[in-house]
């Protein structure tokens, strides 16, 4: 077996998985952050209580994703992060504000709670929009022409809708009563912009690169790939239907929304991965050109194989410990 061929492939998969998990998990944290201004004071505590035990570990998945980019593909890491310098910086500031507001809002005294709630929401929005911008710029090959910038801007305003939906979906699992009803409304409002985001991301890569277009639209590949758009469309239709049939959601099936969103995100990742492969930066660098030395990859490969299942195991355990509906915070 040729390690110099397989190891970069393994790490590309691991990076994709880490970023997918990040989007799903921190996506609901960020979504709840953006929804915060629309909730009453008591609901705010409840919403933050519902993500309190998880957010820190959720955020760690982006560190792993970027970490793998750095470890396994140092050439690409330098190019991507240099090209995305400004959106990365803005995202980091958003994540900083969001992360510290978690603690400050309950520890800095009641007089400042309003300010920290506002910063929590602002940080979540800034980070989400910046991530949208980064995604847009990345899938258009990091070009800085007008079309590229316009596209990045479009993703920047629509990706937050996905996070809002994830946030609503999380509330449908963790809450009941008035907040549950609000979450249904919030989620329904986010459906359309989220669909637009999905559509844009799907059509972008074939438009940017004729090679990618050929991969999708020539026979017989096109038939084999058909399940990806079909499943995505079905899941989206399912979301629309569920949001318009709240009686189902109320009778204990709130988790279906999160499940459908997970299906959509998984499909989008597979589609994106298929489009890009074997390139890591469209039109510039492929996986193997960008990869670190094989002996370095092998060293971290063993660490990943041992620790990643353990991480998934105790993440599952933590979610089990904190299962059930959330209640309001009662800091002493």
Partner 1 sequence: MELDPFMLARMQFAANISFHILFPTITIGLCWILLYFRVRFTLSGDKAWEYAYSFWVKIFALSFALGVVSGITMSFQFGTNWPGFMERAGNIAGPLLGYEVLTAFFLEASFLGIMLFGKERVSNRLHLIATALVAIGTTFSAFWILSLNSWMQTPAGYRIEDGVFFVESWWQVIFNPSFPYRFFHMLNASLLTAAFLIMGISAWRALKQVDGPATWRVMRTGAAMAAVLAPLQIWIGDLHGLNTLEHQPAKVAAMEGIWETEKGAPLTLFGFPDEEAKTTHFAIKVPKLASLILTHEWDGEVKGLNEFEGATPPVAPVFWAFRVMVGIGVLMLLVGWWATFTLFRQPLESRIEHPWLMRALSAMTFSGWIAVLAGWYVTEIGRQPWIVSGLLRTSEVVADHASATLMGTLLGYVGLYAFLLVSYIAALRYLATKPARSLSLLPQAQRFHKPDQEGV
Task: Tell me whether residue 143 or residue 315 sits nearer to partner 1 (CB atom).
Answer: 315
Instruction: Outline where 210-293 has alpha helix (H).
Output: 210-217, 221-225, 227-243, 246-248, 255-276, 287-290
Element of type H or E holding 280: strand 279-281
> Residue 85, interface with partner 1 (CB under 8 A)?
yes
| Contact yes or no for 271/202 (Cβ under 8 A) | yes
> Residue 177, interface with partner 1 (CB under 8 A)?
no
Site for partner 1 in 4-63 (CB under 8 A): 49, 52-54, 56-57, 59-60, 62-63
Q: What is the contact mask toward partner 1 in residues 278 to 317, using x (rule: CB under 8 A)?
A: --------------xx-xx--xx--xx--xx--x--xx--
Residues in the chain: 332
Give the number of other CB atoms < 10 A from CB of residue 184.
21
Task: Tell me whether residue 88 or residue 190 sits nearer to partner 1 (CB atom).
Answer: 88
Task: Tell me whether residue 270 or residue 289 sits nearer to partner 1 (CB atom).
Answer: 289
Classify residue 279 by its DSSP letter. Answer: E
Helix (H, G, I), strand (E, B) or coil at 142: coil
CB 69 to partner 1: min, Å: 8
Helix (H, G, I), strand (E, B) or coil at 325: coil
> Residue 238, interface with partner 1 (CB under 8 A)?
no
Give residue for tokens 């629509």. 158
As a whole number of angstroms, the distance between CA 183 and CA 175 comes to: 9
| Contact yes or no for 8/297 (Cβ under 8 A) | yes
Burial of 74 (0-12, 13-18, 19+ CB in 10 A): middle
Q: Using the rule CB under 8 A, which residue among 5, 37, 38, 86 binds partner 1?
A: 86
| Contact yes or no for 133/4 (Cβ under 8 A) | no
Give residue for tokens 């949001």. 243
CA 280 to chain centre: 19
Of the candidates 151, 308, 184, the one whose C-alpha atom is nearest the C-alpha of residue 251 is 184
Site for partner 1 in 95-124 (CB under 8 A): 95-97, 99-100, 102-104, 107-109
Burial of 107 (0-12, 13-18, 19+ CB in 10 A): exposed
CB 96 to partner 1: min, Å: 4
CB 62 to partner 1: min, Å: 7
Q: What is the contact mask toward partner 1 in residues 185 to 224, using x (rule: CB under 8 A)?
A: ----------------------------------------
| Contact yes or no for 232/198 (Cβ under 8 A) | yes
Task: Tell me whether residue 80 or residue 179 sits nearer to partner 1 (CB atom).
Answer: 80
Site for partner 1 in 53-82 (CB under 8 A): 53-54, 56-57, 59-60, 62-64, 66-68, 70-72, 74-75, 77-82
CB 217 to partner 1: min, Å: 35
CB 76 to partner 1: min, Å: 10
User: Judged by CB under 8 A, how many residues of this single chain contact partner 1?
Assistant: 69
> Which positions lie near partner 1, rule CB under 8 A?
49, 52-54, 56-57, 59-60, 62-64, 66-68, 70-72, 74-75, 77-82, 84-86, 88-89, 92-93, 95-97, 99-100, 102-104, 107-109, 292-293, 295-296, 299-300, 303-304, 307-308, 311, 314-315, 318, 320-327, 329-332
């Amino acid at each position: 077996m040729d390690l110099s061929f397989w190891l970069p492939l393994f790490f590309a998969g691991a990076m994709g998985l880490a970023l997918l998990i990040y989007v799903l998990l921190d996506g609901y944290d960020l979504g709840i952050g953006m929804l915060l201004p629309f909730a009453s004071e008591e609901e705010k505590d409840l919403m933050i209580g519902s993500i309190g035990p998880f957010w820190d570990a959720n955020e760690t998945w982006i560190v792993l994703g970027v970490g793998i980019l750095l470890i396994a593909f140092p050439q690409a890491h330098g190019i991507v992060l240099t090209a995305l310098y400004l959106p990365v910086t803005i995202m980091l500031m958003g994540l900083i504000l969001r992360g510290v507001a978690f603690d400050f809002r309950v520890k800095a005294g009641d007089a400042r709670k309003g300010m920290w709630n506002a910063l929590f929401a602002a940080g979540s929005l800034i980070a989400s929009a910046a991530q949208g911008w980064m995604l847009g710029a990345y899938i258009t090959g990091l070009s800085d022409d007008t079309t590229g910038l316009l596209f990045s801007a479009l993703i920047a305003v629509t990706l937050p809708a996905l996070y809002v939906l994830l946030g609503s979906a999380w509330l449908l699992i963790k809450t009941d009563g008035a907040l549950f009803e609000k979450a249904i409304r919030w989620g329904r409002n986010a459906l359309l912009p989220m669909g637009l985001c999905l559509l844009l991301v799907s059509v972008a890569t074939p438009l940017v690169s004729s090679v990618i277009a050929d991969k999708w639209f020539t026979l017989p590949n096109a038939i084999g790939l058909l399940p990806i758009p079909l499943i995505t469309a079905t899941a989206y239709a399912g979301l629309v239907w569920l949001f318009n049939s709240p009686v189902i959601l109320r009778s204990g099936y709130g988790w279906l929304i999160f499940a459908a969103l997970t299906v959509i995100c998984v499909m989008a990742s597979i589609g994106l991965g298929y489009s890009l492969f074997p390139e890591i930066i469209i039109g510039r660098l492929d996986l193997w050109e960008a990869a670190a030395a094989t002996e370095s990859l092998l060293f971290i490969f063993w660490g990943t194989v041992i620790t990643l299942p353990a991480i998934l195991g105790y993440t599952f355990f933590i979610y089990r410990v904190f299962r059930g509906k959330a209640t309001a915070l009662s800091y002493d």
